[in-house]
Amino acid sequence: MQANKSKRPIFQGDVAFVRVAKRDVPKAAQAVPRDGARVIVAHSETGHHHYLDGEGVTLLREPSNPLIAYLRVECATADVIHGRPYDTHETISLPRGTYRVTRQREWIPGGFRRVED
C-alpha cells in the first residue's frame, strides 16, 4: 500500500488521525506507556477504547497539552481497532508515518466538550 501523503483526516468514530511531518511533533512530547501489547490512542468512558496492537507504533503526548497526541507508525501499516463487540467502528489501517491524534468536540450551551463515544 502506498502511503497517503494527504493532510485529510482519517476518522474512526470520534477520533481523527491527521498525517503530519515528524518535525511537527513537539520536542516535549513523551512516549505513553503501553497497556500490555496495546497502544490506546483514545480512552472510552465505557471502556471500549480505540487501540493498536503490536510493535512498531508509539504514542506520544505533550504534558502541557493532553488533548492532542501523536502516533508514530514505523511498521508498514497499523490497524486501529475499536474495542466494542457491538455497534463498533470499522477497523482502519494507517500506513507508515506520523499522525496527530485528536478527539472531535461538540458545542453545548456554555462551550465545547469532547464527543463521547
Residue 50 lies in a domain: yes
Residue 2 lies in a domain: no
Mean pLDDT of the chain: 80
Find all residues with CB under 8 Å of 37, minimum gap 6, and list them: 53, 54
**Comparing 97 with 48, which gets the higher pLDDT?**
97
Residue 39 lies in a domain: yes
Residue 41 lies in a domain: yes
Find all residues with CB under 8 Å of 70, minimum gap 6, and list them: 20, 24, 25, 26, 29, 59, 60, 61, 98, 99, 100, 101
**Comparing 8 with 43, which gets the higher pLDDT?**
8
Q: For the chain, how many structural domains are there in total?
A: 1
Q: Considering all CA atoms of the chain, what is the largest pairwise distance in Å, rounded to the nearest integer?
A: 44
pLDDT exceeds cutoff 70 at 104: no
Cell numbers at residue 20, please? 503530519
Give the pLDDT confidence score for residue 60 in this predicted structure: 96
Residue 74 lies in a domain: yes
| Range(s) of the domain holding residue 93 | 10-114
User: Is residue 85 very low, low, confident or very high in pLDDT (cuts 50, 70, 90)?
Assistant: low
Give the pLDDT confidence score for residue 78 in this predicted structure: 92
**Comparing 7 with 12, which gets the higher pLDDT?**
12
Residue 3 lies in a domain: no
Instruction: Report phi then psi at 27, rounded to 5.
Output: -60, -25
Q: Return the closest-CA partner of residue 50 out of 3, 102, 1, 96.
A: 102
